[in-house]
Amino acid sequence: MTALLGDQNQGSHVLNWDDRLARRTHALGGSEITAILSLAGATDVITFSGGFPEPSLFQTQVLADIAARLIADEPGVALQYAATEGLASVRTYVAGRLAAAEGRTPAAAELMITSGGIDCMELLAKSYIDPGDVVVVEGPTYLGGLMAFRGYEADVRAVPLDDDGMRVDVLADLLAGGLRPKIVYTIPDYQNPTGLSLSAERRRELVDLARRYGFLILEDVAYRELGFGAGAPGPAAPPSMWSLAPDVVLQAGTFSKIFSPGFRMGWAAGPADVVGRLVIAKQNSDQCAGALGQRMMEEYGRGGHMDRQIAASRELYARRARLTTEALTAHMPDGATWTTPAGGFYVWLTCPEGVDTVALSAAARAQKVAYVPGRPFYLDDAGAGGNQIRLAYCRVADHLIDEGIRRIADVVKSAL
């Protein structure tokens, strides 16, 4: 990036801002997320690209009423700075939700409100990662998590997934071989980008490894409450790792997928020492999550609207997931395989060998359909994901799913 530097005596010369970037930015991608977000407003494209909640689920009138009431009745709280760890009433509300869902109530010092799930990752990396520290992630994994750790020059290593989630046996071998991660990042429920979940047995094994080798598990539960089965994440769902081992697990939660990402609201629950460090780190980033958003989320939840929205969300996303896999069955060529999600926002499609899904995305755009190619979800050096695609069905209208998948299938077939 360049700019013209004016100088009255010497005219202007071109200043290269890229030369002045901090070294740590070199490992930072970001273009993929920018591309996903920039497509957000496109109306003529069937877009399977972003993990955006379906906007018709937003309860606009309820929210307008809550906002008007809070602004009129409590401007001294709702329009003011908040404590860095979050407003007390909001933390009590979130602690109650955790108690109901996970059977464990965090102590006051074990819970903070964050500005979304990504904030928790950023604060954790900022507080604990020195250049070269090892962080283990799932391969493939959420782009934002990769960026948070790379942003602090972590040595990020990937462990593959299978149908039961992260291959904890592969991690165990790496640990036995001497690898010493500070953090292991996992998305155990309906993972982004694969839709796969970590089995109950592996959750226990991972917790055992964390205690034995002394690393922190960062458990990202962004989609945990969006299971399609009856009562998920009720007693039948595998336990959260935070509920199993609050001594070695930091849970990063978000209200983006079950409420609204516009609020930038989430939580972090974990060991008091770790949460305390995140609070200090937050003091010199955004200082606090916005009070108006915190109170609106709390009022919305206490009024029962969150539970109703989650129930409606599960039903809607379950239907879209089914329509997506049915369309894949109808249109994809032989040799293509895909995951069948039991919750969340994503189907992970593996095209026949040799198909380059990055190269095909331009052809897809020409057909007015968009997806995210698989490659950026892996570490660059692994070279994996070249024939894979993440399909986010969450925000594609029911009646467009079949047509959108047919267009993607046509593009894939044209490459065979």
Instruction: Let me know the angle formed at the C-alpha of 123 by 310 and 181, rounded to the nearest 5 degrees.
Output: 100
Q: Which is nearer to ligand PLP, 116 or 233 (CB)?
A: 116
Of residues 124 through 143, those in contact with ligand PLP by CB under 6 A are 142
Options 122, 153, 219, 220; binder of ligand PLP; rule CB under 6 A = 220
Number of residues this chain uses to bind ligand PLP (CB under 6 A)? 14
Binding residue (CB under 6 A) for ligand PLP from 53, 86, 106, 117 = 117
**Closest approach of ligand PLP to the CB of residue 266, in Å:** 5
- The residue behind tokens 């594609």 is 396
For the segment 222-251, give every residue that binds ligand PLP (CB under 6 A): 222
Q: Candidates 87-95, 96-104, 114-122, 388-396: pick the segment binding ligand PLP (CB under 6 A).
A: 114-122
From residue 264 to residue 283, the character string flagging contacts with ligand PLP as x (rule: CB under 6 A) and all else as - is --x-----------------
187 is a contact residue toward ligand PLP (CB under 6 A): yes
Stretch that binds ligand PLP, among 203-211, 253-261, 299-307, 402-410 (CB under 6 A): 253-261
Rank residues 118 and 183 by Cβ distance to ligand PLP and give the closer one: 118
Q: Using the rule CB under 6 A, which residue among 59, 84, 192, 361 binds ligand PLP?
A: 192
Stretch that binds ligand PLP, among 116-124, 207-215, 289-297, 362-370 (CB under 6 A): 116-124
Question: Shortest gap between Cβ of 118 and ligand PLP (angstroms)?
Answer: 3
Could you list the residues that contact ligand PLP (CB under 6 A)? 51, 116-118, 142, 144, 187, 192, 220, 222, 254, 256, 261, 266
